[in-house]
Amino acid sequence: MARRGRKKGRPVSGWLVFDKPVGMGSTEAVSKIKWLYKAEKAGHAGTLDPLASGMLPIALGEATKTVPYVMDGAKIYRFTIAWGEERSTDDLEGEATKNSDLRPSEDAIRALLPKYTGVIMQTPPQFSAIKVGGERAYDIAREGEQVDIPPREVEIARLEIVSMPDASHTVMEVECGKGTYVRSLARDIGRDLGCFGHISELRRVAVDPFTADDMVTLAELEAAAPGPPPAEDDADAPPVAQRFRALDELLLDTGAALDCLPRVVLTDDAAARVRLGNSAIVRGRDAPTDAEEACAFARGRLVAIGAIEAGMFHPRRVFAG
């Protein structure tokens, strides 16, 4: 009989709200964080292009079970549109495809913003991860072929001008829902204004429920990371938990991703039953009696996600204590 392989890494869980620098891809960022934490498992909630900076929520361990809730959260981007040139990638990376000497006035831009607010139809960029006929759009586009990507519905809660540093650039901020491409916004606004445009700078400043105050830089992570592991025969070496304490303190609890769900508090005994897959009575004057989806906590730690029916919490997904 083959032996089951041991898991590699520490069983650390939580959310690291990473301030991704320009030039680093999302997959590269996850690998870097996983390596720093020596974590068993890691994943991210929403791709951020290498040319973009800012918030990339990274889930470790048990927190990977809550990734879909962060993926669905609203996002805020601050971006700069460079006017006068449309590019193949709709950002600085691509080749120029259209040019114009026209430059838009602030009034002209502002008058157009209502068209891009609310529920709108948007066509993703040619260079995007959208699958077309089983292939990624960017793989087809890199071969020089035109990609036929159908428009799709996205929601934009807020779109506003932040500043106009010069005639050729406008800094804007957008609060949008899942699936919105800021590069497409720049492209489409530029076409409507007749001057063309592309993204020259992009930063994600928030992903609900996280805020800018939660972000941790690469420099902060590297400063908190422990040095090389001690020799196996070093009797005076500190335990693993102590060596990684400073790094682990930068993590948010797994349950931080679930602000969108009703919350119930369980006793220690009830939490033990729920972790075994059993139901528990919901107690508390303000506790919900019915909810299609809710999360249960004990001693401030996430126990399970489930449903509440007639005052009973029924777990659907449990979390290690």
Catalytic residues: 49
Residue 284, sorted as left (phi over 0), alpha (psi -120 to 50) or beta, turns out to be left
Q: Which two tokens stand for residue 80?
A: 């700069």
Report the first-to-last Cα separation within the chain, whole angstroms.
Answer: 31
Q: Which two tokens stand for residue 219?
A: 């420099």
173: CB partners within 8 A, 6+ apart: 76, 77, 78, 79, 158, 159, 160, 162, 205
Q: Residue 33 CA to chain centroid, in angstroms?
A: 14
Which residue(s) pair with 44 in the sheet?
58
Q: C-alpha angle 90/92/95, rounded to 5°?
A: 75
168: CB partners within 8 A, 6+ apart: 82, 83, 84, 103
Residues 283 and 162: their CA atoms lie apart, in Å, by: 47
Question: Using an 8 Å Cβ cutoff, are 125 and 94 in contact?
Answer: no
Of 241, 240, 248, 242, the C-alpha closest to 224 is: 248
Q: Which two tokens stand for residue 20?
A: 């991704």
Phi–psi pair at 82, nearest 5 degrees:
-95, 120
Residues 307 and 273: their CA atoms lie apart, in Å, by: 15
